[in-house]
Structure 1
Amino acid sequence: MGTPQVPLRTTLFHSERSGLTYRVPALLPVPSGPTLLAFAEQRLSPDDAHAHRLVQRRGTLTGGSVRWDAALVLGTAALEQHRSMNPCPLHDARTGTVFLFFVAVRGQTPEAAQIATGRNAARLCCVTSQDAGRTWSVARDLTEEAVGGAERDWATFAMGPGHGIQLPSGRLLVPAYTYRVDRRECFGKICRTSPHAFAFYSDDHGQTWHHGSLVPNLRSGECQLAVVDGGWAGSVLYCNARSPLGSRVQALSTDDGTSFMPGELVPTLPETARGCQGSILGFLAPPSSRPGDKGWPVGSSMTPPPLNLYASGQESPEQGSGDTQGGGRLGRTERREDGPGDRGPGDPGPREPSPGSGLHGDRRDWAPQLSRPSATLTQSPTWLLYSHPVGRRARLHMSVRLNRSPLDPHSWTEPWVIYQGPSGYSDLAYIGRTPEGASTFACVYESGARVSYEEISFCVFSLQQVLQNVLPGPGPRGQGGKPRAQCRPS
């Protein structure tokens, strides 16, 4: 396979001597072009209690590169006397509206304090844009509408962080998690809470919002969603979540996120000692990998069909903190010490852009080619990409993994390290395909030389590069070393 390649990167946000720090990135491609919207939290210090406002940079594909506008503080994405956190962007392909969800937390109330007292200080908010992120509406507080009476049983909650998705039905989904109060009174104190992933959803293009049921069993927190092909079971919603249980948790939904089946551990996706947010992205598999084909060999010259560009690579609809029962910290309570000291298809032939080319280094004109929505895309198999640091004891070495059989938790490849060094939160996006037919992705991620929160970086890579640099995983295994069947919803 040769020496692993490393994509060229661009720094979008960099910490300042004053202590100003940028954390928790999110990325959203918006047609046409596409325009790339990158978001982050702006904090007065690395501590989450010092989070302040959300910031944005707009990127435009021009020729063979991305041209980024200056950073902009989103002044309307805020509630008075609250700090804005966990950016979670989402694009409605039918209306053209861009939603930016975030959680507004009262004052400097830490998440750990909310969990300890069972008193939620978070509000579910969003702003919208009709011009691809040039201007934004005033903030809308959706807590009473979307959370309602459940707030009594939630010590706190938050979005994603990272991108939301839109289903073929048109339903909008915002990944989220809460700390549920399992037992409130224990000698006058909160006795037991547990983190659970779930989703907020809207079936009327964002006019009204609701919350779905929680992943019922395993402790699961910060999460992202993707639509995957379930074979005879049809398309299912896939959730991949952070967990303090040593590896990631995945859960499936057959009712579009209204509820989830019991989650299961993903042993091939290990967590860091205290856990870390990760990004998940579903995308249309190369044509020769679909049922009835003999597989897609690297080096073939087969060109994929045009891919639609929608938020987070999903097919067109037209088409932090601590668990009070132990197990490490989980969620958005990211303190100053987090980092290396944290305890706790495309055309695979010769026309594929070489390492260092593509959006950054290629001198040829390059731009994703978009197609009109196609109803047949919703019936095609999907693959998954996943980004997360590979370090077990600390947040080190941002990596990408691939899964060709998304319902099988044992089918993840070994990681391709795309950044050597301290790294943390990340977000993946599908940004189109090259004229040669290469599916192309982008990633924003926390990075640094000494600690993971020194800067937020951006890079671009193709599916061909992924296939050239990942090694096969251990393969599906069951008890006694026997092959394990794919997990399918019943």
Structure 2
Amino acid sequence: MRRRAALGLLAVLLLGVGSPAAARDLAQGDVFVSGEGGYHTYRIPSVIATPSGALLAFAEARKGGAGDAGDIDLVSRRSEDDGRTWGPVTLVGDNGPNTFGNPCPVVDRDTGTIWLLTTHNRGTDHERDILAGTSAGTRTVWVLKSLDDGRTWSRPEEITASAKRPEWTWYATGPGVGIQLRSGRLLIPANHAVAGTQAHRSHVLYSDDHGATWRIGGISVDGTNESQAVELADGRVMLNMRNHPPKAPNRRLVAVSTDGGLTLAPPRGDEALPEPPAQASVLRYSTSASGGRNRLLFTNPSGRGRERMTIRMSEDEGETWPIWRVLHEGPAAYSCLAVLRDGTIGVLYERGQRGAYERITFARLDLAWLTQGRDR
């Protein structure tokens, strides 16, 4: 009897706060595997649910190596069964020997159009050269759209003139996804660096005409970078930002907008969200399947470096994050959240055994599995 009780206690401990899953309510499968399809490495995951409920997974397909520069294509896979299986890898964008990357899609629920914002640069230009102003070219901003639920895409259209200021050097859309506010405004999180200073800042792009034109919205302070946005229950917009270059205490930075992203308040560090540093994802999870409650989800690596991919949930609009579990204990980096049509939570993220960029995996989990982890 004592042995049985001890085994029961051990089981409880193994499923305790933030423990990795051995539960039936978590399923994981690879979507992009580095080395396959003629590409050295797949990076920068993005996933979004289409108007029909299908899933589109995007990634940078890097031909020559794992680095951020070079011949990089934009590819996608589609799932019609909530991420259980995926269709073939399809080429969304190819800029020849140059870089076509940083996918950041957003769905316009009013028109059904899926907009995909991306950035381009010469394959020979590295980030350090663009920052220093010694590169042959610079980063440019482009947009594509799909009118058929993500099956096909328009030709890319350049929007650099309206999306990037002349004094900005480095530039990136996302990575991750954009959102549509209750007002109908489309909002894309982005970041840039300022010439002569190498200061990095988060900012947002927005469209009030269903994607016909894009404008620069709120700009955060120096030391912010890759970001994701979420609309709070009271209508404010919260921008969750990478701390870059990292400075102690290395925590995620959070800024709030009261005017739909046109301006941003000074950011605060969120002590509950460690920064390895890396990109992170945040998304609203307020569905009938979630009990109709206002909840936010957040994912990023929670280790000292890019490792230990963790999902967290807040039930007070991001004030606290007491519920959390680990998806992968080993190397892990960028991630992107999605809410599936049945209320299941999806996470597309980079992971591996020896390095974080070996594969891009899709995890499916339900609320019951997630809420087994809670701060005590």
Judge same fold: TM > 0.5, yes or no. yes
CA deviation vs aligned residue, 1:415-470 (integer Å, no higher than 9, x gap) = 4101121111000011133xxxxx32100000111101000000111122211123
Counterpart position of 1:325 = none
Q: Compute the displacement of 1:80 (Å).
A: 5.6
SS at 1:61's partner residue? coil
Query: Which residue is 2:279 aligned to?
Result: 277
Partner of 1:368: none
Verify: 1:382 aligned to 2:294, yes or no: yes
Q: Please, what TM-score do these two structures have when normalized by structure 2?
A: 0.88
The alpha-carbon distance between structure 1 residues 67 and 414, as it changes in their structure 2 partners (threshold 3 A), is closer
- Report Cα offsets for 1:250-297 as digits up to 9, x if no partner: 00001111110111111211111xx1001001122xxxxxxxxxxxxx
Q: Is the Cα contact below 8 Å between 2:71 and 2:123 reproduced in 1?
A: no
Report if the CA contact (8 A) 1:83-1:108 is conserved: no
Residue 67 to residue 381, structure 1, CA distance change in 2 (3 Å): closer
> Counterpart of 1:242?
242
Partner of 2:151: 134
Q: Partner of 1:68 in structure 2? A: 86
Q: Which amino acid aligns with 1:388?
A: N
SS at match of 2:354: coil
One of 68, 79, 84 as aligned partner of 1:48: 68
**Paired residue type of 2:109:** A
- Corresponding position of 2:5: none
In the alignment, does 2:105 pair up with 1:101? no
In structure 2, C-alpha distance between the alignment counterparts of 1:19 and 1:432, rounded to whole Å: 32
Q: Secondary structure of 2:128's match?
A: helix
Conserved? CA contact 2:71–2:97, under 8 Å? no
Match of 1:58 among 78, 81, 85: 78
Partner of 1:165: 179
Query: How do residues 469-488 of structure 1 correspond to structure 2 at under 5 angstroms?
Result: 469-471=373-375
Contact 1:8 1:460 in 2 (8 A): yes
Check conservation: 1:228, 1:383, Cα contact below 8 A.
no
| Segments ≥4 residues shifted beyond 4 Å | 78-81
Kept in 2, the 8 Å contact 1:248–1:266? The answer is: yes
The residue that corresponds to 1:10 in the other structure is 29
Q: Which runs of 5+ in 1 are unaligned?
A: 185-191, 285-304, 308-344, 347-379, 434-438, 473-490
Cα RMSD of the aligned pairs, angstroms, is 2.0
Q: Which amino acid aligns with 1:279?
A: S
Deviation at 1:118, TM superposition (A): 7.5
**Alpha-carbon distance in structure 1 between the residues aligned to 2:141 and 2:101:** 10
Alpha-carbon offset, residue 86 of structure 1: 0.8
Matches within 5 A, 1:452-467: 452-467=356-371
The two structures have a TM-score, normalised by structure 1, of 0.68
- Contact 2:323-2:370 within 8 A present in 1 as well: no
Query: Could you list the per-position Cα deviations for residues 229-253 of structure 1 after superposition, in whole angstroms to 9, with x for gaps in the alignment?
Result: 2xxxx32001101112311100000
Contact 2:324–2:370 (CA under 8 A) maintained in structure 1? no
User: Matched residue of 1:112: which SS?
Assistant: helix
Structure 1 Cα separation of the partners of residues 176 and 337 of structure 2:
8
Deviation per CA, 1:373-426, whole angstroms, max 9, x where unpaired? xxxxxxx8632111011111x211111011222252xx1226410112111100
Q: For 1:383 and 1:197, locate their aligned partners in 2 and report how far apart those are by CA, in whole Å.
A: 24
| Alignment check: 8 A CA contact 1:176 1:199 kept | yes
Cα distance, 1:85 vs. partner?
1.1
Instruction: Give the 3-state SS of the residue equivalent to 2:288 in structure 1.
Output: coil
Query: Could you say if the C-alpha distance between residues 19 and 406 of structure 1 is closer, same or farther in structure 2, counting changes exceeding 3 Å?
Result: same
Give the residue type in structure 1 aligned to 2:201: H
Q: Distance in 2 between matches of 1:111 and 1:277?
A: 17
The equivalent position to 1:205 in structure 2, one of 202, 205, 210, is: 210
How much has 1:107 moved relative to structure 2?
2.6
Which residue identity does 1:242 align to in structure 2?
R
Percent of paired sites with the same residue? 33
1:257 and 1:222, CA in 2 relative to 1: closer, same or farther beyond 3 A? same
CA change 1:236–1:43 in 2 (3 A) is: same
1:407–1:22 Cα change, 3 Å: closer
Give the distance between the partners of 1:132 and 1:108, measured in 2 at CA: 34
Pairing 1:257–2:166 present: no
Q: Distance in 2 between matches of 1:81 and 1:42?
A: 12
Q: Distance in 1 between matches of 2:237 and 2:71?
A: 32
2:353 maps to: 449
Aligned CA distance change for structure 1 residues 115 and 8 (closer, same or farther; 3 Å): same
Q: Which residue of 2 aligns with 1:421?
A: 330
Q: Secondary structure at the residue paired with 2:183?
A: coil
Structure 2: runs of 5 or more not aligned: 1-11
1:165/1:225 contact within 8 Å kept: yes
Question: Which residue of structure 1 aligns with residue 344 of structure 2?
Answer: 440
* One-letter code aligned to 1:459: A
Counterpart of 2:108 (choices 92, 115, 136) is: 92
